[in-house]
Amino acid sequence: MKIIVLVKEVPDTYGDRKLNLETGLADREASEAVIDEIGERALELALTHADANDGTEITVLSLAPEGATARIRKGLAMGAGSAIHVSDEALRGADLGLTAETLAAAIRRVEFDLVITGNVSTDGSGGMIPAMLAELLDVPLATGLSSVAISDGAVSGTRRVESGVQKVSANLPAVISITEALPGPRFPNFKGIMAAKKKPLEMLTLADLGITADNPDAARSIMLTVAEKPPRAAGVKIIDEGDAGEKLADFLVENRLA
């Protein structure tokens, strides 16, 4: 079975994340870049399957600036067999549509049985790439899975929606996305890190994929304005002297919140 896992380089949520107020793009200097944790969980799912099933091939795929190769290599160190890094100056500020077209083109170049992604990234929080990929690749889509079973030719799992929980399944090839309910990622060990250096990592550009960033037939989402919100100011802070509960009740009632 061939599994492709999408990983994304994002600004570390433990640091200050900044947008460039002139370009509207993420200020990559402002914070450390890391692989989004949900993508690592997606990879963990694939690795767990590979541990129990010989002949499982795992490729990590990422669309990211040139400098992201080191982060993508972490996926190889965790245990993926190969990596594809799509990078192109023309992808700077790419919207979801262009991102999905590019990823779909990269996926089409290799055979696959299953594409696994995280449900939403911590930076864009759109959660739409899996759906776009499924449509472009014309394969079934099962998103937001909080448990997953992969078998020969099919994938199934549980999917929480507003009114309840669905049990869903799809024939392979398919695209799935997973939630944080799935197990966290393993740490790369020394052997994995050394092995990663010898594993194939393919660099691709838009030209390699036959994609033009400024295709006039596709509408693109553009950012019109970006502004920094003034930081939220702290209000009153009292130290409990035995009556803080009463005072807080007064405050809530005065503000019509109780």
Partner 1 sequence: MTEFPSDAILVVVETGASGELEKAAPGLFGAAAAVGTPIALVLASPGAGSAAAAEAAALGARRVLIAETPDPSVLGVPSVDALAAAVEQVQPDAILISQSLNGRDLAGRYAARSRAAVSVDAVGVSRDDEGVVAHHSVYGGAYDVTSTSTFGAPVITVRQGSIEARATAQPQDSETLTVPPSGKRAARIDSFDEAVVATSRPELRGAAKVVAGGRGLGSEEQFALVGQLADALGAAVGASRAAVDAGYIPTAHQVGQTGVSVSPQLYVALGISGAIQHRAGMQTAKMIVAINKDGDAPIFEVADFGVVGDVFKVVPQLISALEARKK
Q: Is 28 in the site for partner 1 (CB under 8 A)?
A: no
Q: Residue 101 Cβ, how far from partner 1 at the closest point, in Å?
A: 8
CB neighbour list of residue 203: distance below 8 Å, 6 or more residues apart: 69, 85, 87
Q: Is 149 in the site for partner 1 (CB under 8 A)?
A: no
DSSP letter string, 183-208: PPPPPP-HHHHHHHTTS-EEEE-HHH
Q: Which is nearer to partner 1, 84 or 174 (CB)?
A: 174
- Among residues 29, 125, 187, 210, the one that binds partner 1 under rule CB under 8 A: 125
Task: Please state, in angstroms and rounded to a whole number, the distance separating the CA atoms of residues 94 and 126.
Answer: 14
Q: Residue 77 Cβ, how far from partner 1 at the closest point, in Å?
A: 23
Q: Is 208 in the site for partner 1 (CB under 8 A)?
A: no
- Show the tokens assigned to 64: 């990211």
Q: Is 138 in the site for partner 1 (CB under 8 A)?
A: yes
Q: Residue 118 Cβ, how far from partner 1 at the closest point, in Å?
A: 10
Q: Is 196 in the site for partner 1 (CB under 8 A)?
A: no
Residues in 42-81 that interact with partner 1 by CB under 8 A: none
Number of residues this chain uses to bind partner 1 (CB under 8 A): 92
- Could you tell me if residue 153 is left (phi over 0), alpha (psi between -120 and 50 degrees) or otherwise beta? left
Q: Locate tokens 């590979």: which residue?
A: 50
Q: Locate tokens 């795992």: which residue?
A: 58
Sign of CA dihedral 187, 190, 191, 192: positive
Q: Is 194 in the site for partner 1 (CB under 8 A)?
A: no
Which region, judged by CB under 8 A, interacts with partner 1, from 46-54, 67-75, 115-123, 188-196? 115-123
Q: Residue 9 Cβ, how far from partner 1 at the closest point, in Å?
A: 16
Task: Please state, in angstroms and rounded to a whole number, the distance separating the CA atoms of residues 183 and 186.
Answer: 9
